[in-house]
Structure 1
Amino acid sequence: MKLMRYGPKGNEKPALVDSQGRVRDLSGLTPDIHAAMLAPEGLRTLAEVDVDSLPVVANPGRIAPPYSGMGKFICVGLNYADHAAESGMPVPAEPVLFTKATSALVGCNDAVVLPQDSAKGDWEVELGVVIGATARYVSEADALKHVAGYCVVNDISEREYQLERGGTWDKGKGCDTFGPVGPWLVTADEIADPQNLDMWLEVNGQRFQNGSTRTMVFGVAQLVSYISRFMTLYPGDLISTGTPPGVGMGHKPSPVYLKPGDVMRLSIAGLGEQTQKVHAWDPALIDG
């Protein structure tokens, strides 16, 4: 299934995408797609729905994050060897973990708003892994059984905040609007191999990132198992698994950073496409 939500902020409706690519409204069956519905029993219930009986939404308008109630937004850094190299950092011996604030979460096509005095905004197309079954000290062999599905994430960063102002990476990663997710949550049964997904990202029509999950240092099963040793993972928790090379910080001969008016497009095979326009600081774009 391809699960999604649509509508203005604060008034989102649940939906799924049928085999013809049409949006089908689920609000007659449930008021929302909440994180708790991503548990195995919830997904089984949704899978039994007669899709053809659901109303077609001709013009869904804004596409919201594909589910509500995210508990944790966990990210993995330097998880592609060639991205580590372009960042001037060694390939890690263990996964590098950090978090994005859940307040960074926005819909896949929502405005990206640069924070005040931002000078080094950057992009990162990433595979998102959504937890469906509670995971605590799970083995790699069993890890994928705890995954509800997958989605596209743009792990937007402010590199000066992240790398030049001391402390951890979080303050350069968790700014408002720095976590576009969606358009869909594609359930795990539709993704035969999460380690064989092509991905790309463009800025203003120029292709900067062109990679594949095949080249991850730590694969999805490894990451779910590893992270579950340090924190319990609950339905709706999102793991953003790292980015391939081609970020603005690593561009040669000189870095390229986001500026107001830029347009990012990005996609992962089978998981849909995102488009975001970059804006200067404007709280109305965040709260509206």
Structure 2
Amino acid sequence: MAYVIPAPSIASVPVKGAAAGDHFPVHRIYCVGRNYVEHAIEMGHTGREPPFFFLKPADAVLPAVEGKTATMRYPSLTQSLHHEVELVVAIGKGGKDIPAARAMEHVWGYAVGLDMTRRDLQNEAKKQGRPWCIGKGFEQSAPIGAIVPAGQAKVGPDTLIELKVNGTVRQTSRIGKLIWSIPEVIEHLSAAWELAPGDLIYTGTPEGVAAVVPGDLLSARIEGVGTLDVKLADR
């Protein structure tokens, strides 16, 4: 097949422990909103509301190799860039209307990720009743560490998820505090979209989201999965 313009490259994420050059190709990025109770409260909501989702473009990923620091440009238009640390689920087997009882059969692996948010732009869009893609779906808005195959990861209710900024803890919680569990998220997602190999699911962030500025070092980790270090650069 010939293209009339150069075809874009496929976004991908390195795989932990794989042969050099082996990557996980990214199809879509789904994100779960307000999936920890305390974060829902700090965003002005309460209770176990039905799950809702938003998407980021595949090339929003900013892959990082464990042990090395990735550099993220401070994005344009915003004066309030917020961090949101999240467990990322990598889908290896697609499907539609996947029941929660079978959902884990579709999980290829896990990673630690950051859902970076232009909070001021998101909040303004909310006030005007407009879509808030501009607050979530910009370049480099989805930093992510190497993906760990599911059989090598250790993820359970007591798994620690944590983010430090310049060495100070900003966010800390346990995966068991997810309002909607990973199987439930996959069940709900696959009812709305047909999941495909290469999909990434950012499963939600705990409380403690806050602004960061150029020069800050963000250090995220999830026990049994890995770490992610991102340095914020000037625009």
Q: TM-score range by the shorter chain?
A: 0.7 to 0.9
Q: Identity of aligned pairs, percent?
A: 31
Does 2:45 align with 1:85? no
Does 2:112 align with 1:158? no
Which residue is 2:183 aligned to? 221
Letter in 1 for 2:173: G
- Which of residues 224, 229, 232 is equivalent to 1:275? 229
- Which of residues 98, 113, 131 is equivalent to 2:54? 98
Letter in 2 for 1:170: C
Letter in 2 for 1:278: L
Deviation of 1:105 (Å): 0.8
Deviation of 1:16 (Å): 4.6
Deviation of 1:216 (Å): 0.5
Deviation of 1:25 (Å): 3.4
Letter in 2 for 1:279: A
State the alpha-carbon separation in 2 of the partners of residues 233 and 83 from structure 1. Answer: 27
Deviations 1:181-226 (A, max 9, x none): 11x2112223454433211101111111111111010000000011
Deviation of 1:279 (Å): 1.7
Q: Which runs of structure 2 are paired with 1:40-189 in the superposition (5 Å)?
A: 67-68=24-25, 70-108=26-64, 109-165=69-125, 166=128, 167-182=130-145, 184-189=146-151
Name stretches of at least 5 consecutive residues in structure 1 with no aligned partner. Answer: 1-8, 18-23, 34-66, 249-256, 282-288
The structure, 1 or 2, with the larger RCO (C-alpha pairs under 8 Å, 6+ apart) is 2
- Which of residues 186, 195, 214 is equivalent to 1:260? 214
Equivalent residues of 1:127, 1:151 under 8 A apart: yes
Deviation of 1:118 (Å): 1.6
How many matched pairs? Answer: 219
Per the alignment, do residues 14 and 91 of structure 1 end up closer, same or farther by CA in structure 2, a change over 3 Å counting? Answer: closer
- Which of residues 14, 25, 32 is equivalent to 2:19? 25
State the alpha-carbon separation in 2 of the partners of residues 237 and 278 from structure 1. Answer: 26
Deviations 1:58-92 (A, max 9, x none): xxxxxxxxx23x11100001000000111112335
Aligned Cα RMSD in Å? Answer: 2.1
2:184 is paired with a residue of what secondary structure? helix
Equivalent residues of 1:78, 1:92 under 8 A apart: no
Per the alignment, do residues 14 and 122 of structure 1 end up closer, same or farther by CA in structure 2, a change over 3 Å counting? Answer: closer
TM-score by length of 1: 0.71
Letter in 1 for 2:159: L
